[in-house]
């Protein structure tokens, strides 16, 4: 199979779908790898690094899309890329289709088979290809909160961990999954006063044990959310329902309960966001203010640390990419969890959770 790697074109997206090491593994397995020139520059890898492992270099993205049997990316394809996809092609990348019907229809029109990293499930029910970026995003969320709380950024001018004699900041993490766990770990490490809210009591017990009682744990209810955010200096939205749009757990009315110039970090923005007032932002302009509350809603947070992110992502995606290159779509049939990654096939939506979120689609647009 010829595996193509175009350069990412989303704003300030510097990650790459295949690192040179991953390209080497595919070449060693008997496949061809075609990389757009400069695709690895964001992680410090030039074209020579790819050529040394046996990959070929293409002058343009159009060349990659025209020749490749499978396209491996990081972020969802942009409109200029939808039109280059074709019916006999596999697209393997993050898609986050639930809040993005325009992209869904663009991929459907292309006729390609689109497999999403974020809906692939492992044998334990986990999300193995989402986890590494969730780890990165969770840690970055606390860095972003610390920066947004500074006075010159519009914040109240407080330090997350405080100092001796001055109280630490209050951080509330909504969602106790991978993002929330790593956000809490970073916040605790900096000395912040941390609460975690989650809908699962067994998960809260696990978190209490994991952190040795150093966090407050609250079962997710409207009362608990209102009480916690009213005291918070920073609130991290870390809620995920695989394949579905994130629930809006903090409403605009609730902003009135919060401290002025408090910070909301919406890590769930790729899935539509878990704050009612959220909208996607970029690394260029990461924040905006609603009702005196600072919102940080960057849709590709791990893109800020592309070297770490690309290698962490490739550690997880390479076995799946090799399986697709070796066996094509037959690899999905041998693994029910892998098949959960199938989002678009032959012009129709193939994942039920995605289909339910895109509820305005006609029945003939869904695979049953």
Domain architecture of the chain: domains with CATH: 2-120+305-365 (3.40.50.720), 131-303 (3.40.50.720)
| pLDDT tens digits along 113-139 | 999 999 999 999 899 999 999 999 999
HSE toward the beta carbon, residue 79, CA cutoff 13 A: 3
% of residues, the chain, pLDDT over 90: 90
pLDDT on residue 362: 53
pLDDT on residue 98: 87
Find, among 182, 177, 171, the residue nearest to 145 by Cα: 171
What count of residues does the chain have? 368
pTM reported for the whole predicted model? 0.89
CB 42 within 8 A of CB 306: yes
Q: List the catalytic residue out of 100, 270, 295, 345.
A: 270
Judge whether 291 counts as a catalytic residue.
no
CB 202 within 8 A of CB 177: no
Cβ atoms within 10 Å of 278's Cβ, excluding its own: 23
Q: What is the mean pLDDT of residues 80-104?
A: 95
Q: What is the mean pLDDT of residues 171-185?
A: 97
pLDDT on residue 364: 44
| pLDDT tens digits along 3-41 | 999 999 998 899 999 999 999 999 999 999 999 999 999
Judge whether 208 counts as a catalytic residue.
no
The CB-based long-range contact list for 75-79 (8 Å cut-off, 24+ gap) reads 75/8, 75/10, 75/13, 75/15, 75/300, 75/303, 76/10, 76/100, 76/103, 77/103, 77/106, 77/107, 78/9, 78/10, 79/106
Q: List the catalytic residue out of 31, 96, 261, 295.
A: 96
pLDDT on residue 272: 93
Q: Which two tokens stand for residue 70?
A: 């499978």
Helices (H), 243-340: 252-255, 306-327, 330-333, 336-339
CB 137 within 8 A of CB 271: no
Rounded to whole angstroms, how far apart are CA atoms 366 and 350? 6
């Amino acid at each position: 199979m010829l595996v193509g790697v175009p350069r990412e074109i989303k704003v300030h997206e510097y990650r790459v779908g295949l690192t040179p090491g991953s390209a080497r593994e595919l070449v060693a397995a008997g496949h061809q790898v075609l990389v757009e020139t400069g695709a690895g520059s964001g992680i410090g890898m030039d074209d020579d690094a790819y050529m040394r492992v046996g990959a070929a270099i293409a002058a343009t993205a159009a060349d990659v899309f025209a020749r490749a049997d499978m396209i491996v990316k990081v972020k969802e394809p942009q409109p200029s890329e939808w039109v280059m996809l074709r019916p006999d092609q596999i697209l393997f990348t993050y898609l986050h289709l639930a809040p993005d019907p325009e992209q869904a229809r663009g991929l459907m029109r292309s006729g390609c088979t689109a497999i999403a990293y974020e809906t692939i499930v492992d044998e334990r029910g986990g999300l193995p290809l989402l986890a590494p970026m969730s780890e990165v995003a969770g840690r970055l969320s606390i860095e972003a909160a610390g920066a947004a709380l500074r006075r010159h950024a519009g914040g109240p001018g407080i330090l997350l961990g405080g100092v001796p004699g001055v109280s630490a900041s209050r951080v509330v993490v909504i969602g106790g999954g991978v993002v929330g766990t790593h956000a809490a770990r970073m916040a605790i490490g900096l000395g912040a006063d941390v609460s975690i809210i989650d809908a699962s009591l067994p998960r809260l017990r696990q978190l209490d044990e994991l952190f040795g009682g150093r966090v407050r744990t609250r079962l997710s209810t409207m009362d608990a959310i209102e009480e916690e955010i009213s005291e918070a200096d920073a609130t991290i939205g870390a809620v995920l329902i695989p394949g579905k749009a994130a629930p809006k757990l903090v409403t605009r009315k609730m902003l009135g309960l919060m401290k002025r110039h408090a910070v909301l970090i919406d890590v769930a923005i790729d899935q539509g966001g878990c704050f009612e007032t959220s909208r996607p932002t970029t690394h260029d302009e990461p924040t905006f203010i609603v009702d005196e509350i600072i919102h940080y809603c960057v849709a590709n947070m791990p893109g800020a640390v592309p070297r770490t992110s690309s290698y962490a992502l490739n550690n997880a995606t390479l076995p799946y990419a090799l399986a697709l290159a070796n066996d094509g779509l037959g690899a999905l049939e041998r693994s029910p969890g892998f098949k959960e990654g199938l989002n678009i096939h032959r012009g129709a939506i193939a994942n039920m959770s995605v289909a339910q979120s895109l509820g305005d689609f006609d029945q003939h647009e869904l695979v049953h």
